[in-house]
Amino acid sequence: MERYAKLAAEALSQVLPSPIRTTDLEIPPDPKLGDFAFPCFKLSKELRKAPPQIAQQLVADLKARNAVPTGLSVSTAGPYVNFTVPADEAIRSLLKDILAGDGIGHYGELPPKHRGAWTLEYSSPNVAKPLNIYHLRPTALGAALDRVGRYRGFDVISINHLGDWGKQYGMLAAAFRLFNKTVDSDLGMMDLVDMYVKVNAAAEADPSIEAEARNAFLKLEQGDPDVTALWRKCVDISIREFERIYRRLGVRFDYIWGESFYKDQLEPLLQKLRSGGLLIESEGAWVVPVTNREGKEIPPCILQKSDGATIYATRDVAAAIYRYERFHFDRMTYIVGAEQKLHFEQVFGVLRKMGFVWAARCEHIPFGLYRFKDAKMSTRKGNFVTLEEVLGQAKDRVATLMRERAKDPEKPDSAGATPNEDTTEAVAVGAVVFHDLHTDPVRDVEFDLERVVDFEGETGPYLQYAHTRCLSILRKARETGQLSTVEVKFSDRAPNVLKATEEVALIKTLGQFPLHLERTLSFAKASQLAHYLIDVTKAFGAFYRECRVLGEAPEVTSARLMLVEATRRVLARGLQLLGIPLPERM
Ligand code: ARG
């Protein structure tokens, strides 16, 4: 499909005022309308015509220029120009591509690292606090974009920008003294949380603690070995804890460079800004006046406080410059909560003011919050629900559901499935991660455990189950001798056999996989891919209801097994890219 979409985009580019890309094409909700469509709304102003008229004109121009790509038919439906790939051609080429290669194949994969460097920053939690459910948003989305980016040929450089610097670490140092702890004390993450809460309470009663903390952070900034050792200990405890959860989620980073990583670059940065006349004094602090991308003035970016201390934004400016010097990225994406929108506008504003043209390549992808239906969780102080807790609850729920299903005579595929550790973990992680990813990043996630873990509906378990369904059909085909090869191979006879509407629709849906990967990357939204995979399972469901696979005439069974295998591959690859584990049975 991608090849056809490219042809369509190229053809349209010849007759449009300015060229378009495949991501400018839409995929019509009803395949009867076509396989992809170009919406003409946006051109209406420029061309001073109604969108349906533009659509007709474009088709006429394409035909007049003999520019309709061979193998595609073109038509209009209201404001859209629709392109359709003929069924036979789609079956032959798409099925062949999907079934090429072993295992789950490489459909939609592009050669590695030929598409430019993409610096992708995600997760970025603060040290000395456990990962809470809210951190799943930047972690799951970032990791999905990371995988899809690599699969599609980008040279992805992933960075976890830990919050590991600032005066709160001075406070922790004070806590060590106050509670008689040392670098050798046996401490875990929860101990750090506890110490931090208690030292803050103590500081309210005793102002000298505040001064001690400030002094400790000053020492830390100056590289004092004792304070540095305490700080290091807190960072190490935290990273160990984060890694444990990242492993469960299948997340890894090329670089864990916390804010502290840039500490020696801050003074030179301030120097440079000062000598360039960009840093001005304002109410005792040092700021750079900035505008946003549209040139509108926004609050100035504070880079140095009146006491001389640098701040979060100073480290972000230094980090961006460092990353550019090191990677010469073509795109740098920050996946960070929507509440930091202004912060990133300010940071990008400073970079622009410093004359870095690459500032235009930086983008902030914001995301919304978590909201709980369960009152108990939503009223908990500070919304402090750890990711681990949520995964634990999801696992319990999965085990209960699986026990019920194993007894249900209407679920023969689940009969042999026992809720063992591996499966409950895989389904729970799949459920929680999918639920997060399928929500548009800018929206809040409504979390209701029962709905998240449901085996039916638009959920992770439903997709995982559809995948095990394909596996079980293929298994049965082998057991009954209806499939004699280890792998399902493409055969040229398939187009003659696969004619049913549901068969053609399924193949075309599967063929759209690469287009959805591309959209996922260009909009930085994993929800694109998540929703597409739901469409795949729906198309598969319709096919499976209408077309019997096993026990038909051998050439029919064999052609339909190709469809089952193609579905399995696209689902497996898509889920894997999203970070959803694939249980064998459930
Ligand atoms: N640690 C920050 C927080 O938890 C997020 C860091 C985002 N990344 C950045 N480059 N500022 O709020």
User: Could you tell me the distance, in angstroms and rounded to a whole number, from the CA of residue 445 to the centre of ligand 1?
Assistant: 20
**Residue 377 confidence (pLDDT):** 63
Given the candidates 3.90.1300.10, 1.10.730.10, 3.40.640.10, 1.10.3720.10, the CATH classification of the domain at 393-578 is: 1.10.730.10
The CA angle 102-106-515, to the nearest 5 degrees, is 150
Q: What number does CATH give the domain 117-263+317-371? A: 3.40.50.620
The tens digit of pLDDT for each residue in 118-174 reads: 999 999 999 999 999 999 999 999 999 999 999 999 999 999 999 999 888 999 999
Distances (CA, A) of 349 to 61, 299, 304, 420: 43, 11, 16, 52
All residues at 6 or more sequence positions from 4 whose CB lies less than 8 Å from its CB, including other chains:
35, 36, 69, 71, 72, 83, 85
Best residue for ligand 1 mutational test, from 120, 122, 124, 321 (most atoms within 8 Å of Cβ): 124
Whole-prediction pTM value?
0.93
**Where does ligand 1 bind, in terms of residues with CB under 6 Å?**
121, 124-126, 161, 163, 316, 334, 336
From 336, 339, 345, mutation site for ligand 1 pocket: most ligand atoms within 8 A of C-beta: 336
In angstroms, the Cα distances linking 581 to 165, 428, 435, 440, 470 are 34, 9, 14, 21, 16
Q: List the residue whose alpha carbon is closest to atom 1 of ligand 1.
A: 163
Contact criterion met (CB below 8 Å) for 83 and 8: yes
Question: Which residues, other chains included, contact 528 with Cβ-Cβ below 8 Å and sequence gap of 6+?
Answer: 516, 519, 520
At 582, which amino acid appears?
L
Mapped onto helix, strand or coil, the DSSP state of residue 108 is: coil
- Max CA separation in the chain (angstroms): 86
* Tokens representing residue 148 in the block: 């899809």
For residues 19-34, one letter each, b for 16 or more C-beta atoms within 10 angstroms of the residue's C-beta and e for the rest, the string is: eeebebbebbeebebb
Q: What pLDDT was estimated at residue 411?
A: 76
Report the CATH architecture of 2-85.
2-Layer Sandwich (3.30)
**Three-state DSSP state, 334:** strand
For residue 288, which phi and psi values (nearest 5 degrees)? -115, 120
pLDDT at 374: 72
Mean pLDDT by 10 residues, the chain (586 residues): 89 92 88 88 90 94 90 91 89 93 96 96 96 95 98 98 92 96 96 94 94 93 94 97 97 97 96 96 95 96 91 97 98 97 98 97 95 67 77 95 86 73 96 97 92 94 96 95 88 90 94 95 96 97 96 95 97 98 91
pLDDT of residue 353: 97
Annotate 515-553 with DSSP letters as a single string: HHHHHHHHHT-HHHHHHHHHHHHHHHHHHHHHS--TTS-
Query: What is the number of the ligand 1 atom nearest to the C-alpha of 162?
Result: 1
d(CA 190, CA 129): 8
Tokens 């490219």 sit on residue: 6
Alpha helices in 29-107 (DSSP H): 43-47, 51-64, 87-99
Half-sphere exposure of 274 (CA within 13 A, CB side): 11
Pocket test for ligand 1, best of 340, 342, 344, 347 (most atoms within 8 A of CB): 340
User: What pLDDT is attached to residue 381?
Assistant: 47
CA 33/CA 204 separation, integer angstroms? 67
Domain locations in the chain?
Answer: 2-85, 117-263+317-371, 393-578
* Residue of minimum CA distance from atom 11 in ligand 1: 316
Task: Locate all alpha helices (DSSP H) within 410-459, ordered by sequence.
Answer: 421-438, 449-453
Nearest CA to ligand 1 atom 6: 124
| CA–centroid distance, residue 134 to ligand 1 (Å) | 13
Residue type present at position 60: A
